[in-house]
Amino acid sequence: MDTVSVQEKKFNKLITAVSIIVPLVVAILFGVKIPNVERLGFLPPIYASVNGLTAILLIAAVFAIKNGKRKLHQKIMTTCIGLSVLFLIMYIAYHMTSESTAYGGEGAIKYVYYFILISHILLSIIVIPLVLRTYARAYLGKYESHKKLAKITFPIWLYVAITGVVVYMMISPYYQG
């Protein structure tokens, strides 16, 4: 077995573990409330902005690679992963110090909101292993399989980033001061 295959197997085990552990930890921590801690109500617009920046950078990364700028593409994608981790930390911190906000819209818009929210949540779980496997393939120099998987990963990740902003914009009028 060549070195790449051994490394890829190690990456795949780690990616599988992370892909299971992260959503479980988020779900558990979502239910934990830290008492007597100042509410972190300033975070939602910041982490929504992080999602927006991620979406912009994902598109920039595609332009970079299509123009043969592999190093720039790599730097942008690494930044996107870092931004996603930053988002996750802020999201958890906010929900550990603040009560969930109920959506106050009525009529058809309420169904639109919940469709966007639920699809955003489900796809944000699905995109974790996709992003990590896509990144690992590039890291290992398996560019053809990276490219194939990226064609699946990119639109899902972009949807998650954009709908994160949309969800924030739709619920922000209902946040408690």
Give per-residue pLDDT as tens, 29-79: 878 888 777 778 899 999 999 999 999 999 999 999 999 999 999 999 999
| Residue 24, domain extent | 3-174
Q: Is 107 left (phi over 0), alpha (psi -120 to 50) or beta?
A: left
Question: Which pLDDT value is given to residue 29?
Answer: 85
Q: Which of 100, 90, 94, 102 is nearest to 38 (CA)?
A: 94
0.85 exceeded by the pTM?
Answer: yes
Contacts of 73 (CB under 8 A, 6+ apart): 61, 64, 65
Contacts of 159 (CB under 8 A, 6+ apart): 119, 120, 123
* Mean pLDDT along residues 136-150: 95
CB atoms within 10 A of CB 117: 17
What pLDDT band is residue 8 in, cutting at 50, 70 and 90?
Answer: confident
Q: How far apart are CA 140 and CA 77, in angstroms?
A: 15
Percent of the chain clearing pLDDT 70 (strictly above): 97
What is the CATH classification number for the domain harbouring 124?
1.20.120.80
Q: Which of 74, 163, 91, 99 is nearest to 127 (CA)?
A: 163
Q: How far apart are CA 10 and CA 20, in angstroms?
A: 16
Structural domain count of the chain = 1
Q: Which of 25, 45, 23, 174 is nearest to 100 (CA)?
A: 174
* Mean pLDDT along residues 105-113: 96
Question: Which pLDDT value is given to residue 36?
Answer: 72
Question: Which pLDDT value is given to residue 177?
Answer: 54
Please, what is the angle between helix 43-66 and helix 70-97, to 10°? 160
Please, what is the angle between helix 143-171 and helix 43-66, to 10°? 150
Question: Which pLDDT value is given to residue 175?
Answer: 80
